[in-house]
Amino acid sequence: MTAHPVLHILHDVGAAAWFGGSLMGATGLNGAAAQLDDPRERARAATAGWSRWAPVNGAAVVAHTVGAAGLLRTELPRVKHQQGVGRSSAIKTAITAAGLGVSAWSAVLNRKMAAAGPVPVQGATEASAATPPDVAKTLQQLKLVQWLNPLLAGGIVVVTSWQEEQMRTSQVVPGLVKGLTGRLPKGAPAAAALGLGVLALRRSKRRSSVDAYPQPVVRHPQVPADGVSASTASLGSIAGTGSVTPMPPVTSESGVYPKG
């Protein structure tokens, strides 16, 4: 696998800023705006804060999307062949698309609140009895969107961690094997196993047929310790001497050999 540090930086930093900024805005910015004494300044303060964050959030979303698209292209062979990678990539693509849609929706709602001006509200995303109906409807949508943004961005971070685990060597090799075998026809593994069994049976039959032929036995005459062979002693008995005086051993460069 080829390293692509720039794509990884865009992907990871973009996702981190997207998740962290949206979570901070929902918990910190909107919560602080709701504590203002003047009901007319609550929505105005929250809208001003989100408007300042919007360009940074947009840059983070774009950076993450570019990095994700580049990494998906470079890892396309693993997506096609390694088991589980295609599923995680599809899930991540769906979450990213939903996050892009929610971010665009949030930007539109924020512009509506900015155009409404200082209106009395209960909180940054909660209407009061004095809130105009159209603004109350926008606040109701903002209340949902403020949590959807960090939820989807956090989902991207979670799936990214899952994909990093799939890049380990202990996951890549078994995943590729399972992915390739899963593409074979249903009867292919069984046929392969049957073929191996037949091949092993043929080899065992060949070995057993070779072992059936008797092997020639070579017997060497035994030489006593005194250097006189049994055949020499027999010759001595036939001659009537009754004993045979052994010849002195013949020495050679490689050792001493008795001469019978």
- Note the pLDDT tens digit of each residue in 168-186: 776 555 545 554 555 556 6
How many other CB atoms are there within 10 angstroms of residue 25's CB atom?
Answer: 21
- Note the pLDDT tens digit of each residue in 104-140: 999 999 999 999 989 999 999 999 999 999 999 999 9
Report the percentage of the chain scoring pLDDT > 70. Answer: 65
Judge if pTM exceeds 0.85: no
- Note the pLDDT tens digit of each residue in 49-103: 999 999 999 999 999 999 999 999 998 888 888 888 899 999 999 999 999 999 9
How many other CB atoms are there within 10 angstroms of residue 49's CB atom?
Answer: 19
Domain ranges of the chain: 5-182
Average pLDDT over residues 138-156: 96
